[in-house]
Amino acid sequence: MAAITLIVAIVAGLVLLLVEAGDREGGVQFSNAVVVTGFSDVVPPNGQLCSGPIARIDSFERVRFSLGTRATDPSRVAAPRLLVRVLAADGSVVAGPAVARLTAADVARDYADARVPKVPAGSPIRVCVTNASSARVLLWSGIANALRAGRTTIGTTVAPATPELLFYQDPTPSVLARVPAMFRRAAIWHPDWLGTWSIWALAAVLALGVPALLAFALLRSPDEDDGADAAAGDGRDDDPQERWRRFQAEVEPALAATPRVHRFAAVPLVGDAQLSPTSLTVGIVGGGAAVATTRAALEQSTRAPAVLDGAELDALLREATTEHVLLLAAGDTLAPVAVERFGQALTLAPDARVVTSDHDTVDRAGRRGDPRVFPGPSPDLLLARDLAGAAVCVRRDDALAALAVAPLEPDAWQYDLVVRLAGADGAGHAHVPLLLVHRGERAAPRAVAQRRVVERELAVRGGTDGVRVEEPAPGRRRIRRTLERHPSVEAIVLFRDKPELLRRCVTSLLDRSTYGRLTVRLVDNGSVEPATAALVEELTRDSRVVAMADPRPFNFAALNNAAVAASEAEVVVFLNNDTEVRTPDWVEQLLEEALRPEVGAVAPLLLFADGTVQHAGAALGLHGYAGHPFAGLAPEQQTPFGSATDGVRNWLAVTAACLMIERTKLDAVGGFDETFVVAGNDVDLCLRLTAAGLRSLCVPHVRLLHDESQSRGTHVDPGDFARSEERYGAFRTVGDPFYNPQLTLRDASCRLRAPGE
């Protein structure tokens, strides 16, 4: 009966809403109207929503956005960043953009402010909001806060001082697709609000629907309720501790059920759960009572291995009778499935000399915490931070051969083994992306010992004249290389009008860059504003700047390819016009990496104006296609995946918003693919470089500001998605070897995956 009452109430209310919506225009909403019942629009990354038309506005100061923070909304954690623009009737920008950002500090509210510059009096406008963050948000409404002397006119009626605007997708393509927009239009501002159908409809829904909902909820069984909450993603995992608990209970068992191995720059290898594992011996390094703890955990193992223990690692290796030995410190424990998964990894990757995994810690009460998940084999990042984890599985003979060259660093023996056996190209390394080891409460490897490991390894590899190891932060290292040559470098900047952005970009290039052989090529893609022409004339008076016109329909790949063809530089930098140099010797630092024969594309750390990360590399599969891990976080913010500033990171791709590459390497792979119009071309280029044996790197020590999507907006050609799906291939579906399947793909927070993902 309660369900029938609820259905009748909702149907009656919606019919009334549709009647009221029939001849309305736009999406202007009266404060406290129907939107409070839950109508909202999901705004995906780079998506845009606009209000309905506002016929007249004398002044405009602020838009305040209410961002949904209910159960289905991840925005509270994702810290969304929205760009606000005021558009004229012809689509031109009247004011803005301004930034509205909800940060982690805003836990007591669910709105963000964006002050928009004063709008010319009497201008008919729309207010448009672009989601510039890497996670979807639920946009509910905004408040146009007129100044005391101002007046806002909606249709023919003067609105209150703070009329509320409702944002939605419009126009919609079909009658059926128009229904949600009609619901929203039913909430249009009306001077006689007590007499509107909207309010009566809302009253009917509340009067009949709420009691029915309460009765319906009481009649539901606990099991049904729990299942619905889980299916909806009820937000319980917004609390990190709750998310960690649910990860262990629901996500980890599902991931651990299948053997999986990551190799350098290759599609992850996934095997059947019944795959036969390679035999191995577990070697417990150390002595005392801690050995008993490690041995006791092995009694729960799904595969019973041979077990050895002792204080001398080389003696353990010689005593082992299997080809492979899994080494861990006394006091650390293995997950029940660890021996089996390490053995299956060796079956999938029989040429690997060393296999690593992820780990967490366990306290004296047996509680797990502090999960650490790593990318797949990353030879550049490995030298910058410890990716060895808490246990290493080595090929016995290779490990003994390494020990014959020099003894291991006792305070960093696991890291030492991985660095020696992985190889300069990472080919000897395989990684199992599962939390297979639980570290006991013991001291972490000493940073000074790890630095000695890196310095010795670089000396063994040879050709290290002019190479030195620096420590920008405790436990973090950076390999610096003296430039043996100083090639000509040209920054290619595409633009169409936006003279204020172009001036900032080029001025920062000319005035802040310290590299002596840097030139700038400006590519004008159809500018029409007199101010732009005047600026270009001014900028080209500098001998380092050259301008060319290319008014064809916008195609990022084709425009850049044409600019490269016109350039004589040995190294090119593709640079967005909405960037600004922050690190004066950015060219020199990027050249240190770009001139290495094994490196293709190199990019810096790009930051939003508020100092949070915009780009630190790209992971395929994130957001369904590709995304930027760490986007929206502070550069040093720690996650289970580390931070954006851990060191020079290997990626499958980096962004072309600022991408340096040697001309010969670019030509060797054919430049950008011009079938990509707007998006995906940089990822495609980097994948072809990867296939040619060239790495893509992000150098976080170099920083530029990037006002994402300020120059061209957020529109993406639909064909770009189809081409991206084709070119990204199994990296998009099976996984990115430089990411980790235990991390969420829904946003860029690098937090653990939630149930249902």
Query: Mean pLDDT per 10-residue run, the chain (757 residues)?
Result: 56 50 37 33 69 60 50 46 74 71 49 62 70 65 50 53 53 41 40 44 59 54 35 51 94 96 98 95 95 96 95 96 97 97 98 98 93 98 96 98 94 96 97 97 83 94 86 92 96 97 98 98 97 98 98 95 98 98 98 98 97 97 94 96 98 98 98 89 96 98 86 57 86 97 96 94
pLDDT at 61: 53
Strand 164-168 relative to strand 28-29, pairing: antiparallel
The DSSP result for 715-737, as a single string, is ---HHHHHHHHHHHTHHHHT--T
Beta bridge pairs of residue 314: none
Contact 283, 417 (CB under 8 A): no
> Residue 576 is which amino acid?
N
55 Cα distance to chain centroid: 39
Residue type, 301: S
Region of 477 on the Ramachandran plot (φ > 0 left; ψ -120 to 50 alpha; else beta)? beta
Task: Go through 513-531 and write b for each residue having 16 or more CB atoms within 10 A of its CB, e for each that does not.
Answer: bebeebbbbbbbbebeeee
Tell me, what DSSP letter sits at residue 43? E
pTM recorded for the entire structure: 0.72
Is residue 287 within 8 A of residue 330, CB to CB? The reply is yes
Q: What pLDDT score does 679 carry?
A: 82
Give the domains, in start order, of the chain with CATH numbers: 14-210 (no CATH), 257-481 (3.90.550.10), 489-733 (3.90.550.10)
Query: What are the structure tokens assigned to 554, written together?
Result: 């916008």
What are the phi and psi torsion angles at 193 (to 5°)?
Answer: -65, -30
3-class SS string, 394-421: EEHHHHHHHHHHCCCCHHHHHHHHHHHH
Q: What pLDDT score was predicted for residue 251?
A: 96
For tokens 């923070």, the residue is: 69
